[in-house]
């Protein structure tokens, strides 16, 4: 049937607009329960971030799952990777996250995890969508599901995170600013770092249901940059609303993005003979990352944008490290999905063990200038991408950049945007050419 509702990262959209409505979530819960809850494993874990609509969707999903005969374990506000972890350790048949990740509060969405704490295969998503086409039905009363709250969920996840770095590793002496994006990590993020001995200045840790990702978090690193400088901190950590991404900041207030963090982790794994194979990035990964890894003899593979594509490539190659410049990093030797807190801990461990600051560790990655322009679209993405005028403009731009540059034109998988991205050796040229190409795209949309 193909995916009618599921996108590159679950189901996402503006609250109140189809499919992000309460009645849809009720039907989705029933369909998911029918497909996923089988045999003895009939419990589904549900976590959410801090946006206000999470209450409504949590209740709707719970009702739908119960109607299908599935039991529900409610975690409350909890990072996406925590839901993946707890799905495994609670032996649930699936996990559900109610979140729109780095999007504003007026958006929301649903992500699913399998019993192994990994994203659902396409065929399972298609089976859920197929089940949604059937009339809503309820199992007999004696077979209805029950719901419980997992009161110690935060403590379980905190201990898991601490266990992803070698026993005895201490962060004493480090002064860390952690920006929780007023999102799902607002409690567990600071707690993990404090329990490992660091001095913590927590910001973006007062969610009110409306301020998630609002001028803070990994999509607005200027907030943590300023705090690092004001506090004289050694390092800053910026997480996103659901806690699966991380961007870090050095003591000088300079951003260290996902490409550089991925290199730091890979280099340290290689130095300790723990690097299994190569690194997976995406078409958006900066060429500087690829060149830095090449100097170390570490293979590098690019995929389409999206952590599910990165994960698939890692599994098929039996590799352990991959990620995106946005800070969505996969350390499969530590956990099954992208985890901002776990990824930050891997970098902090390197800093402590090598006695080097973050700027020194990132210095080997000489990033090429890159410009991205986001263009809002209202449908017609396929027609736009197939436009002869747009294709000609892309080819002409690539010719001007030459072999030392790249042009990427792609629709966003999570927002109604087309992204124009250029990379090259000359920052001024990259900026001018990006604006020129964006103008062609806009003209084609209005024409």
Strands 406-411 and 417-423: antiparallel
Q: Residue 240 has which token pair?
A: 């996103």
Taking alpha carbons only, the member of 203, 206, 199, 143 closest to residue 175 is 199
Whether the CB-CB separation of 60 and 322 falls below 8 Å is answered with no
- Which pair of structure tokens corresponds to residue 5? 């509702």
Indicate the SS3 state at residue 286.
coil
In degrees to the nearest 10, what's the CA dihedral of 186, 245, 254, 51? -40
- Residue 94: which of 169, 41, 48, 144 has the closest Cα? 41
Distance between CA atoms of residues 91 and 346, nearest Å:
27
Q: CA 148: distance to chain centroid?
A: 27
Of 183, 297, 175, which Cα lies nearest the Cα of 236? 175
Q: What whole-number distance in Å separates Cα of residue 228 and Cα of residue 223?
A: 9
Taking the C-alpha atoms of residue 302 and residue 129, their distance in angstroms, rounded to an integer, is 30
Spatial separation of the C-alpha atoms in residues 292 and 363, rounded to whole Å: 10
Number of residues in the chain: 447
* Residue 43 falls in the annotated catalytic set: no
What is the rounded CA–CA span in Å between residue 58 and residue 74?
9
Asked if 28 and 63 count as a contact pair (C-beta separation under 8 A), the reply is: no
Secondary structure of residue 346 in the 3-state scheme = helix
Among residues 43, 53, 101, 191, the one annotated as catalytic is 101
Distance CA 238, CA 343 (A): 12
Q: What positions carry a catalytic annotation?
A: 101
């Amino acid at each position: 049937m193909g995916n009618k509702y599921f996108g590159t990262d679950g189901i996402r959209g503006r609250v109140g607009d189809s499919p992000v409505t309460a009645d849809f979530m009720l039907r989705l819960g029933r369909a998911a329960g029918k497909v996923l809850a089988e045999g003895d494993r009939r419990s589904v874990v549900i976590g959410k971030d801090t946006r206000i609509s999470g209450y409504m969707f949590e209740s709707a999903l719970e009702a739908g799952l119960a109607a299908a005969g599935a039991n529900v374990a409610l975690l409350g506000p909890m990072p996406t990777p925590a839901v993946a972890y707890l799905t495994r350790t609670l032996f649930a048949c699936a996990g559900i996250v109610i979140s729109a990740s780095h999007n504003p509060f007026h958006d929301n969405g649903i992500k699913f995890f399998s019993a192994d704490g990994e994203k659902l295969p396409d065929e399972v998503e298609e089976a859920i969508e197929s089940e949604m086409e059937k009339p809503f039905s309820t199992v007999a009363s004696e077979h209805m599901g029950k719901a419980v709250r997992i009161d110690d969920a935060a403590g379980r996840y905190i201990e898991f995170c601490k266990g992803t770095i070698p026993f005895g590793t201490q962060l004493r002496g480090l002064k860390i600013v952690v920006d929780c994006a007023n999102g799902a990590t607002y409690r567990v993020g600071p707690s993990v770092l404090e329990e490992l001995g660091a001095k913590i200045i927590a910001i973006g840790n007062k969610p009110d249901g409306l301020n998630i990702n609002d001028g803070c978090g990994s999509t607005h690193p200027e907030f943590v940059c300023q705090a690092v400088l004001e506090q004289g901190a050694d390092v800053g950590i910026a997480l996103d609303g659901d806690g699966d991404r991380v961007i870090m900041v050095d003591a000088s207030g300079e951003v260290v993005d996902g490409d550089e963090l991925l290199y730091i982790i890979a280099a340290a794994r290689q130095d300790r003979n723990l690097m299994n194979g190569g690194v997976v990035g995406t078409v958006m990964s900066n060429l500087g990352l690829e060149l830095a890894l090449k100097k170390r003899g570490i293979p590098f593979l690019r995929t389409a944008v999206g952590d599910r594509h990165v994960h698939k490539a890692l599994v098929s190659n039996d590799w352990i490290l991959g990620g995106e410049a946005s800070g969505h990093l996969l350390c499969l030797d530590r956990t099954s999905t992208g985890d901002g807190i776990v990824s930050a801990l891997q970098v902090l461990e390197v800093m402590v063990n090598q006695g080097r600051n973050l700027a020194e560790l990132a210095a080997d990655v000489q990033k090429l200038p890159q410009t991205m322009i986001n263009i809002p679209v209202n449908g017609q993405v396929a027609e736009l991408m197939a436009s002869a005028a747009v294709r000609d403009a892309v080819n002409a731009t690539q010719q001007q950049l030459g072999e030392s540059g790249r042009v990427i034109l792609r629709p966003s998988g999570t927002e109604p945007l087309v992204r124009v991205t250029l990379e090259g050796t000359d920052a001024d040229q990259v900026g001018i050419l990006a604006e020129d190409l964006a103008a062609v795209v806009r003209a084609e949309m209005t024409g």
